[in-house]
Amino acid sequence: MLTEFAADVHRAAEIRYSYDHRDQERDLLIASMDELAPEDRRHVASLVESLRMASADRLGGGVAGGGLNAMETGMSNASQWGDATTGSGWGVGLTGFQGEACGAMDNASGVATLMDIAQDLHDQKIQTKRSLLFVVVTGEEKGLLGSRYFAAHPTVNSKSMVADLNTDMFLPLYPLHILTVYGLHESDLGDSVRKVAQSLDVEVQDDPAPQRNVFIRSDQYSFIRAGVPSIMTEVGYKKGSKEEEVQKDWLKNRYHAPSDDLNQPVDLQAAGQYNRLILTLAESVANTPARPQWKPDSFFRRFAQ
């Protein structure tokens, strides 16, 4: 079931191009899947589906929960919605996007993660106590326009949204041994992600470059300002490591560039591990009776209502 979601468009030229060429590009992606091992095809299939949806500016969906704290079940009752899981922006993952940024990593990858998680919830018949709301927003680069709109005009009761997990540009460029968590120490979502990561043998670290202020620059900030505890996560690295050099090279040569396409190297195993981690985290948050809370010393606690 899709819920109506109105948002400002990201870039008119991108949407127009993806709409005019969506069938052609989708066919190219489908053809490329024949060269992949069966276990790798699903992630590309999700990118194909992202392309199918990319021409729309109203994207939202949900999985109904089982009724935590006497919340009613059923998709029609807005009071039963719980954590909001979002992917920032949409990116279409094309090849040779006529000089424009193709957006495979930024952020068709995050959208594919949401779609994989939704598919897993369906296929495995997973029933969470809170519902999960999947939102794909637009206009981040223009001032968080889509997430700002949704946070101000949600499709559910705003007071029922208990957490935001942002999957924006998680960069599966190398093995997932470390998870960088923006907002790790701001709310007890950080405690939840530590437990989940430990169970998957993944180390957790805070923002390695806090001077960049990433925590308030992506779409989770719209939810933070609405009082919703939030985190953003990505495949991490240790300072001085070869992984750091790989990420720096990606940011220099592929970020917002035509080379952010499906021809670039991707660690599909890391992407799959990341998806499992986010799914497990979402389940944990959705099944925990207590709502996530801001830490008493968090600057962002002031936004809680």
- Per-residue pLDDT of 32-51, as tens digits, reads 445 555 555 554 444 444 43
Least confidently predicted of 8-22, 77-91, 143-157, 281-295: 8-22
Q: What is the pTM of this model?
A: 0.75
Q: For residues 74 and 60, what is the distance between their CA atoms, to the nearest angstrom?
A: 17
Q: What tens digit of pLDDT does each residue of 169-201 get?
A: 999 999 999 999 999 999 999 999 999 999 999
Establish if 3 belongs to a structural domain.
no
pLDDT at 100 > cutoff 60 = yes
Q: How confident is the model at residue 157 (pLDDT cuts 50, 70, 90)?
A: confident
Establish if 147 belongs to a structural domain.
yes
Q: Which residues form the domain of 196? A: 12-303
Q: Which residues pair with 56 in a beta bridge?
A: none
Q: Is the dihedral of CA 139, 142, 148, 149 positive or negative?
A: negative
Establish if 1 belongs to a structural domain.
no
Q: What is the CATH number of the domain that holds 94?
A: 3.40.630.10
Establish if 5 belongs to a structural domain.
no
* C-alpha separations of 270 from 9, 127, 171, 209, 239 in Å: 30, 26, 9, 22, 19
Establish if 228 belongs to a structural domain.
yes
Number of domains in the chain: 1
Q: What tens digit of pLDDT does each residue of 42-77 get?
A: 544 444 444 333 323 334 566 666 554 323 222 222
Establish if 103 belongs to a structural domain.
yes
Torsion of CA 38, 39, 45, 50, to 10 degrees: -170
Establish if 2 belongs to a structural domain.
no
Establish if 246 belongs to a structural domain.
yes
